[in-house]
Every structure is written in C-alpha cells, then in structure tokens.
Chains A and B, each alone.
Chain A
Amino acid sequence: MKGKAIVITSGKGGVGKTTTTANLGTALAMLDKKVCLIDADIGLRNLDVVLGLENRIVYDLIDVVEENCRLEQAMIKDKRNPNLFLLPAAQTRDKDAVSEEQMKSLINELKEKMDYILVDSPAGIEQGFRNAIAGVDLGLIVATPEVSSVRDADRIIGLLEAEGLNDPQLLINRLRRDMVGRGDMMNIDDIVEILAIEILGVIPEDENIVISTNKGEPIVLKDKAYSGKAFNNIAKRLEGQDIPLMTIEKESLFNKVKRIVGLS
C-alpha cells in the first residue's frame, strides 16, 4: 500500500483545521479507506477531543518518535469506524520535541499501512507548521471568507510552494449564503481570484458543527447535516469522483419543497 499524506493547514487559527481533519478523515474511512489522522499541534492538542477519543490516549506522537512505544501502540482506533486511526499529540510537551526528519520517517512508515494520512497542522508558520508539512504529498488550505483568513492562506500557499508542495487545494469553510447573497461576505469567486488555486470544496456555516464538536462526534455521521454532506463530497472528490460543488445560493421555494419531500 502506498498511501497519500495530506496536510490540513491555514496559517490563521480558528478557521476549522481540526474540524476539517476529523470530518474529512471520518468521511474517507466511511468510503472504506484506511485513514490515520495525525495531530501535529503538540502542546495544544484538540483532534482527540473533537473525535471523542481523549480518554483513550496512552501513548502519543512524541512517545513514538522517542521510541517509548511502537507506532501501533500509539495509534488509537476510532470507536465508531475500524478504518480510522488517530495518532494524538502530546499535551505536556512543546513543538520542538519533534523534528521534521522524524515526522517524515513517521509518515513514510504510515504510508505503507494506510490509504490516507491527514496531518492536522497547528496555526502559525513556525516549527509546528514545518513539522506538519514534512513528508506530505498535498496541502489542503482551509480558509474562511474573511480578508484576514484569505491573506494568511495566501502566505501559506507561498510557504508550501517554497517547500516544493505545489498545487495545494482550497477548502472554504463557514460560508454563509445569506450573507453572500446580501453582498456582506466574500463569495467563492472573490477568494479563488485572490488565491488562484484549485478549490476542493465549500463547507457552509452550520451551528450543528459546534454541537458535534462539543460532543466528540464528527458531523459527517449525521445524515441530515448540510455541512456533513459537504465533507462527504470533499472526501469523494479526493477519491477522484466528479461531484459538483454544492449550490450555496439561496434555494428556491420550489427546490426546498422538493428537497423536504425527498425528490432531490
């Protein structure tokens, strides 16, 4: 097996990297892919909490690189999906506890066992970010429709290209179609025009995400959630399926009725 390693990054904090990693990972695992999520945010780990796996952590990424345990011992199997694994970050250490070379060899080892390795990058462009992008094949940039987020995304794209990670792909998160409709929020075209990279998906703003994150249950497990569907579509696109972007324009009353009745 030769898996694909993807880093989920943004530069700016709070745009949804961890939520994206958890949901995209779960969605890929639901497509019967073997997925390992790596929390590279050492010292500020969150991915375990979002997945509801915090109380299962015995060993972490630092234990693996310091050879206190074998890789398999530190990989936590998801409680819902046997295809999904989490390699948690250490909470009481800092970003310098691991090096880029160690991350690279770790990811290479995982590539032999997994179809996908998703690395949840910390915010910022310092050592933690450098560790997160070491050894990966693709960069996924998460940006919200805000000027500051897009600016940071642009910076990150430049840094990735400097590291030889060309052609990163874009995920636009927390898009509010009502605000875009009123012209109060940047729309997809505005963002793509600035960043000039391929867009992989758009995730609408959804208050259910807050609920699911707090509960430790990824939103993709909820059939009805709009945002969950968006993540499922992104997973399918990564798998090479041709799925059009979800319409984010306000749907007409007729379509709404059709959707509720279940015709579309």
Chain B
Amino acid sequence: METINTKMTAKGVIIDFDWEHNFEAIKNSLKDHFEEAGSFYEGTDLYFKVGTKELELNNFKELFEIAENYLSSETGIYLVGQEDNKERLNSSKESQPKREPIIEEVSFKGDTVLVKGTIRSGQAVEHPHNLVIMGDVNPGAEVKAGGDIIVFGRLMGLVHAGAGGKKDAQVAALRLTPTQIRIANKISRPPEDSNDQIFSPEKAFIKEERIIVEEIDF
C-alpha cells in the first residue's frame, strides 16, 4: 500500500492514510497529491480516514493545513474513524460533525468516468482521471480531465486533457472540431478559415512539444 490512497464515494473522496509510514512521508505525499490534483477537488467533500490510529492533535492540524492550502473554502474536510466517531474532528471550516457513515465505496484510482448526454454551453465537466462523453460537447462548454478524453460525438467546445500536467494524454472524438484544445500545458486552436470537412474520428496528442491532430486508424 502506498502512503495515501484515494477512493471515490457517493459522498465525496476518501483519503486513506497508511500509518505504517512516518508522518513526514504522509505529509509529503498528501502535498504531492493535492499538487497533482489541481482544482479537481473543488466543491467535493474530502474525508480523511484515520482508522484506529490515534494521532496527536497537532498532526491532525498539520494535515488540515496542507489541505487548506490547496483547496477552496467550499471544500469540506472531515475526519473518519473506523467504527466509532470518537476521533472525528471538525476542521476550521463549517463542517457538520454528524455525518452518516460512508457506504458505497467505489474504487477511484485510475478510473474512467462515463458521462452521457450533451454538454452544453456554460457547462463544465471535470474529472481527475479519464473521461468518456457519450454525446456532443457544444461550443462554450468545457471538458477537463487529468487523463485522456474521448468524445463519442462532436467535440466543438473547449477541451483540456492531461490537466495535471500529463503530457501523454490524448483527446479523441468522432468529430474533432474544438474551439480550443489543451493538453497538459500546451494550447492550440484550429487554424482560421479552415473548412474542416473531415468526418472521420480524429485524435490529438503532443508530439515534439506541439499538439498534433490526426485521423484515427482503425
């Protein structure tokens, strides 16, 4: 087991600490994790799983402070004990101490999320890992993922794959005509006055520090 593990649940994201490692290592990997996740946890509740471990109050505080540095105030942070709630603590934010126990744990790591339906102007879809969209992404819509993005439909809005800096992330769509395409830290837009008449699926990826678009070979 790694120093920390994340799990997605119906209520939010659980961060599970492996207390076998020393506290400094845990702190560092939590920092790295937030660094990598960027703004993905905005608006999601976070649950720090403490298990049966008894920690000093100071240590709790340090973990919270790390989280607070990276997250907006809308993100709630909660502590989860094993069975009883004795170790449950409030963060400095307005969080309710009484939360129902978390059920429906779903594996989160490396997972791909499927979104069905049209993403319309003004709507934004974000996911820390891979995203598959069954539908169109209209102009004015934003789709952002830490990993790859696949659109089973027309991709016409703004798309950002590898948003955490993953340079080998790819974007694929049945019709790839985005307003703007971003992969990792690269930004590209379709050439002006291009009457794109390609109706076959295309993919975009980074090659030699540039975003390249090519037809998908089947």
Contacts and interface: CB of A to CB of B under 8 A. Distances in A.
A binds B: yes
Interface of A: 43-45, 54-58, 79, 91-92
Nearest to B139: A54
B117 interface: no
A43 B122 contact: yes
Contact of A92 (B142, B189, B190, B192): B142
B187 A54 contact: no
B140 A91 contact: yes
A91 B121 contact: yes
A45 B187 CA distance: 21
- List 9 A-B pairs, minimum CB-CB distance, nearest first: A55-B189, A92-B124, A55-B179, A55-B180, A91-B122, A91-B140, A54-B179, A92-B142, A92-B122
Contacts, number: 22
Q: What's the dominant secondary structure at chain A's contact region?
A: loop
A123 to B, nearest CB: 16
Contacts of A43: 122
Contacts of A58: 187
A57 B192 CA distance: 15
Contacts of A91: 121-122, 140, 142
Contact of B180 (A44, A57, A79, A92): A57
Contacts of B140: 45, 91
A105 to B, nearest CB: 22
B117 to A, nearest CB: 17
A56 B179 CA distance: 8
22 contacts: A43-B122, A44-B122, A45-B140, A54-B139, A54-B179, A55-B179, A55-B180, A55-B189, A55-B190, A56-B180, A56-B189, A57-B180, A58-B187, A79-B192, A91-B121, A91-B122, A91-B140, A91-B142, A92-B122, A92-B123, A92-B124, A92-B142
